[in-house]
Amino acid sequence: MTATSRAPRRPRIRPRGPPPAPTPIRTARGARSAAADERVLAEFLEASLRVPDLALPPRTKRFSFPPAPPPPPPHEVSSQALASGDADAAAESGAFTVAGAVDAREVREAVEASRAVFAATDEVKREPLARWFRKRDDPVSGGEEFCWFRPVSHDDDRALDAALPGSTYRVFREKMDTVASKMENVAKNAIRVLSDNVKNPKDSALCREAPSILRLTLYNSNKSKTCWDESGSTDPPPNSHALSIHLSGDDRKICLRNQGGSTIFSLPAGSMLVTIGKKIQEWSNGQFKAAVGEALFEMTDEPGPFISLQLVYSPDNLRLTEVGRQARSIDRPKFVSFRDQILVALILLLLFYLFWC
């Protein structure tokens, strides 16, 4: 038995480099590559196919709503009209201005007297007068506030006079009390006018939940910002006040914000901006809208740091004012319409002809 021998297999060596050209395709005209066929096919398709020219439709102008106009500036009334109750204080903007309410010189003197109060040492502001002073945590405008609670008690007078040096508080009290009293008179007249015009007030009385505060704010920056979102023991809650009154001894730009947006207007020196608080809005069932006012200023406007003056007013009780409104409506004379007068005249004429003719 003979053994068969097989030749050893040779290992396949893979060539390095690009792959070989495609195998020629046999046709009736001979052999040619697939690349040549693809080129011929592309030329045939390009010559035979008619692709229409396509174009996008012209862009139509999109309809866009025009930007909402800013709300109008608040209505201006005089002090006499407000005191007589003839002014329409129930403005839709939630605010109105009182022209010539205070002599501008008196306001400037009171503000100047308050600079000596702010000049007290930090130790005094932290320990004996911590109830009246507080730092503003706002990184934009910085500064601090002095809150003068109204009416001022005898104990508060004595504590402030003893803590502040010399006659600082006595001078401040003399100058600022005149201005604050006039602001409170405007607030009381405004509350009376609002109660006279309210249509469907809540049954609950609008009683005092927080004291009225004369807020003096010292700004160290050229940007102002409202402080209702700040925390502090002397800050009343946003819905705890009825009215807010801004006053300045110089012509000042005011930013007024309400539900309709914001607007900037000029407040003349000695005039007051009265804004309605959320407490009035809730008490009137939304008839009177709340608004927030804020003084705008630049560092070039003042030789020193700017001081704003604001009265946050809370009445003792609005139920008494409502009773007075109802009593005045009862005593108001009743007028007979022209149609009723003609009807009565015709009835009298008919009776005359029936009984006398």
Number of domains making up the chain: 1
What pLDDT was estimated at residue 314?
85
pLDDT at 42 over 90: no
The predicted pLDDT at position 111 comes to 93
64-101 pLDDT, tens digit each: 656 667 777 888 888 777 777 665 655 567 889 998 88
Residue 75 near residue 275, CB atoms below 8 Å: no
The tokens describing 46, both together, are 């390009």
Q: Is residue 334 situated within a structural domain? A: no
- pLDDT tens by residue, 261-284: 888 999 999 999 999 988 888 888
Q: Specify whether the CB–CB gap between 129 and 120 falls below 8 A.
A: yes
**Looking up tokens 């012509």, which residue turns up?**
251
Question: pLDDT tens digit string along 100-133?
Answer: 889 999 999 999 999 999 999 989 998 899 999 9
Q: Does position 141 have pLDDT exceeding 60, yes or no?
A: no
Q: Is the pLDDT score of 175 beyond 90?
A: yes
Mention every residue, 6+ apart, whose C-beta is less than 8 A from residue 154: none
Looking at residue 198, its amino acid is V
DSSP assignment of 227-259: -TT---TTPPPTTS-SEEEEE-SS-EEEEEEET
Residue 112 lies in a domain: yes
pLDDT bin (cut points 50, 70, 90) of residue 331 is very low
**347 lies in a domain?**
no
| Per-residue pLDDT at 71 | 73
pLDDT of amino acid 303: 57
Q: Mean pLDDT, the chain, as a whole number?
A: 75
Please report whether residue 328 resides in a domain: no
18 in a structural domain: no
pLDDT top residue among 234 and 191: 191
pLDDT at 214: 94
Instruction: Report yes or no on 284 lying in a domain.
Output: yes
pLDDT category of residue 337 using cuts at 50, 70 and 90: low
Percent of the chain beyond pLDDT 90?
A: 26
DSSP state of 2: P
Q: What is the pLDDT of residue 132?
A: 94
Answer for the pair 212, 312: CB distance below 8 angstroms, yes or no.
yes
Q: Cα–Cα distance between 103 and 191 in angstroms, integer?
A: 23
| pLDDT of amino acid 208 | 59
Tens digits of residue pLDDT in 201-216: 876 556 556 678 999 9
Say how far apart CA 307 and CA 284 lie, in whole Å. 33
Of the candidates 269, 282, 271, 204, the residue with the CA atom closest to the CA atom of residue 241: 282
CATH number of the domain bearing residue 214: 2.60.120.330
Does a structural domain hold residue 35?
no
Domain, as residue range, for 161: 76-322
Is residue 159 pLDDT above 60, yes or no? yes
Residue 148 tokens read as 């003068």
Q: Output the pLDDT for position 227.
A: 38
